[in-house]
Structure formats: C-alpha cells, structure tokens
Amino acid sequence: MSFPPPADNYVGEPQYPNPWTTKRPLEGLRDTDAAKIICLAPDVCLTPVGKDVVPIPYQIVDYCGHDENYTPSVRFTGQKAMVLRSNTTHAHGDAPGTKKGIKSGAVEDICEPISHASQVRAEGSHVIRHLDRFWMNRRNTQGEAQFVRATKTYGPPKDDDPVPGSLRSSEFGRVMSDASPEELIMGAQYAQALPAHQLPTPGGGSAVPVPQPKGPGTVIRPSLERAPQWYNNRTPPHLDSRPNAGQWARYGVWARRFTAIGILIEGIFVPSNGANLSDVVPQDGFEEEVVRTFHEGLKHGADSWAMRDWAMEQINEHRSRPQHERPRPEAVPQPDTVRIDRENEFPCLVGPYSEIAPICPGQAHHIVPDMALRYGTREEGAAGQKRIPNAPSLGRGMTVCLSQSMHSGLHSSLNSTLAALGAMQTPAGTAPMIRILNASTASIDSVIGLSKECKERAKAAARLQMMPLAAQPGRTTVSLPNPAATEVLRRGRY
C-alpha cells in the first residue's frame, strides 16, 4: 500500500490543520513503556510453514522504554527524551517470521523516527512527539507513535481589540441616550472637554466640581473633573490656594527693598537652581500621573522644589504600600511544538551520580554515603583508589536529586547515626554494610517534600546496588579510619 507523506502525519481530526493551535496533545516521547509505536501497515516477514517459506503479515508494536541514543542531559519528567537520532531496540510481534522481513531482511529489529518537531530540539536533535511517524523493523514498514498524557486544548486568542483611534478604543465613545443627537456645530465639541465651573470652598484648598447637565445625544468625554486620589489628601502645590515656600520666597523678593526681613526670607526660601524628577523612573500608571502633574505644575509657575517635595512624598507613599501583582497572560501554544506534562514541580531523578549530577536542579545526594565505601580521602576515592572491594565507583553510586531545602541537614543527621553504629563495632569506625544500608534508606524517609513514590524508587535502587556487599564492613566515620579499621576495610571482611 502507499503511504501519505510523513509531513501530513494525521488527518483524522476536525479543523486540521489550524492556524492558531494544533488542538493535539503532541506529548514528547521519552524513556517509558507507556509510549508505544504501533504499525500502520503489517510487517510482512518470510515465515516457515511446513517445508515452505511464505510471506505472512504481522501486527507489530514497540515501546519507547527500549531506548537507545536518548538524551541523558535533557529529561522530560525525569525521563530521557527521544530525539531524531534515537531509536528503540526491537519490535514485538513478528518473531515467527524467522526468515526475516521481505524489504529489510530483519526481524524484531529497531524502530527509527521519521517526522519530528521542527522548532524544538534537545541536545541539538529534533524532539519526537505523539503521532510522529516511524520506520519499524529496520524500515520494513511504517508506524505511528501513541502517547497521550493530557487532552486539554488551547483555543486561539479572542480578537476583541478595538480599532486604534476609534471611540471604543478611548473608552469614552458611547452615546448615553437613544435620542436623536443634536446637530453638529463645528468647534462646539471642544467645549465639552473644558473643566466644569468650580465653586470656592469655605476653608480654601481644592474646589469641589459641580457637574453640568448634558443634553440627549451628548458624547461623554474626559474632563478634569476626574482627578486621581492623592495620598494623605495632599493637593498638588499649583492647585493649592495656601501660600507655600516658593510663594513666601517671591514675597521676600519684593519685601527685600523695604525691610531686612525680606532679605532673610529670600535667603531661606529662594533656591539657587530649580528642581526636577530626572532621577525618578515611573513604575506604574500612578507614578506616571505624579510626574505628569509635576510638569504641569511647573508650567503653571509653581515652585519647583515644592512640586518635587509633593511628588516624592506621593511616590514614596505609593511604593511603601503593598502592590497587587497583575496576573501574567498565559502564552498560547504555537503549531509544531511539544507538550511536557509534569506531575511534580521538583523532578524525581534516581540513578548513578555521573548521570544525575549534571541534570539535577538541586543536589545529587548519594543514598549510601560514598565515605562508607572507601578508607581514603574523597579525592582518592574519586580516582578509584582506597575503595573497599566490589564497591561501586563515586560516579556509579546511586543518588537521588534533592532540592536545597530537602538536602539541608540530611548529612549531619545521617553521619551521627552512622557514628553511633561504628562505636558499637570492633574495630571502631566500621559496621556491616547491611546496617549502613538500612540507616541510609531510613534517612531518605525523613526527607520532607520528596514524594513517597520517589522515596521508594531511591531505596529500591540503593538496595539493588548494595545488597551484594551486605556482609562486608563499611566505614562509619567522617574522619579517616584508624589503622585497625583501615585493614578490615581494605580486606573486605571482619
């Protein structure tokens, strides 16, 4: 049969393709048997039937857990990622075809990816996803990846932005009456933007605006009636009718000609140069309004220092109060991307130190301390020297990835427990490895924030590695062991 081109790898969903979002899970493939590769056409292999050899079609499947050339330094949910250079090791289901495939001459052989994510890479190679095409049984047939973790889709963003320059874009373009609008008079529309007539208040200060009635069909426009609420009820100096320092200074200039008091007033209040807000960077709309009001006051002839004092008071008061952070809009996924669904915020990574340390966002913790497996210094142990017989190397020791908060205090408590074990043994400073293993796995249970499943994985990995050494002596002291303990550790038996 003929196959569609690899680029068009799925046509069964409605609205495919879509310019805004794929509406497909497209989960990234990784080192797990939950991800499968299922053949789209049978794998035809030559099969012995009695004395004859006939071609028989087989339905085959392979699992991404049979990994080869995956990415050790890039992981999805703690599992190595599958990329274009990767392959699975063998297909399942065509074992009876012992005379091999009719095209590839192979049976139960590797599966290689064909299609991939064009924009997402790991270690420089394209990432493979759900629904990507594969060669199966060394190119004897084709298959498709099946791996669904979540089915949530993302719709296109709502196109509700107003046209720039329209009345709707200014939020003031709505007619407040269904009556017929009045006849348009050229120039009259500007009168609506003038401030309403203000009545003086008995005690001075800012005036209270009096709203003016508007006829039917009048377009509501912004005016100076809507003023911001200033902190501490401080009115800007250029709107305050009470004399301020700058006004007293100007009075002093005129009074200087007549009295010595005027000279004193001028010397105290007249600055040598004007003030500005060049050192202030507005951080939000309120602070931008403060800066705008400051410059407006200077245009009205207000004293620059009085305006600066007012502006800095408003800005400092505003910044000292708790601010509510606006939620950031979520990004809309674009076509041809990869989805990674994480079950935990902090990954559960368990494995040899050489593999976990480069990818752990926190610290790779040896489940059984490496000091228990050597009688020399850490540098000597890392070089493969002065280690107890049959012990794994520093890089092959089983570790679990812990955050800084999880790792804090774990070593000190475990070291105290091991020291107590060694004090009861002869020679002192040693203990059977099975006891060291039990104490080490018990310390993993005390880690706060690590999932129960991850704890069980870590303990199982440590037991699997250390049980062959259960009867051997191990070191229990942070300091180098004494000569008697060193001899026992070197010999590997009591």
Query: What pLDDT does residue 248 have?
Result: 54
Task: Give me the residues of the chain with pLDDT under 70, please.
Answer: 1-25, 150-228, 241-274, 323-346, 408
Question: Residue 305 has what pLDDT?
Answer: 85
Tokens of residue 65, six digits: 């857990």
Burial of 140 from C-beta contacts in 10 A (0-12 / 13-18 / 19+): buried
Other beta carbons within 10 angstroms of residue 313's beta carbon come to 15
Q: What is the DSSP letter of 74?
A: E
Q: Provide the pLDDT for residue 77.
A: 87
Q: What is the 3-state secondary structure (H, E, C) of 24-68?
A: CCCEECECCCCCEEEECCCEEEEEEECCEEEEEEECCEEECCCEE
Structure tokens at 120: 């997402």
Closest by CA position to 472, among listed 422, 435, 428: 435
What pLDDT is recorded for position 337?
A: 64
User: Residue 447, SS3?
Assistant: coil
First to last CA, the chain: 70
**Residue 120, phi then psi, degrees to nearest 5:** -115, 130
pLDDT recorded at residue 16? 44
Instruction: Please report which helix (H) or strand (E) contains residue 79, including its range.
Output: strand 79-81
Q: What is the pLDDT of residues 333-351, one digit of tens each?
A: 555 666 665 544 567 889 9
C-alpha–C-alpha distance, residues 100 and 95, integer Å: 9
**CB-count exposure of residue 77 (10 Å: 0-12, 13-18, 19+):** middle
pLDDT of residue 172: 44
CA dist., res. 255 & res. 415, Å (int): 84
Distance, CA of 447 to CA of 346 (rounded, Å): 14
pTM equals 0.35
pLDDT of residue 23: 54
- Per-residue CA distances from 216 to 176, 190, 483 (Å): 8, 17, 104
pLDDT tens sequence across 420-475: 988 988 899 999 999 999 999 999 988 887 888 889 999 999 999 999 998 899 99
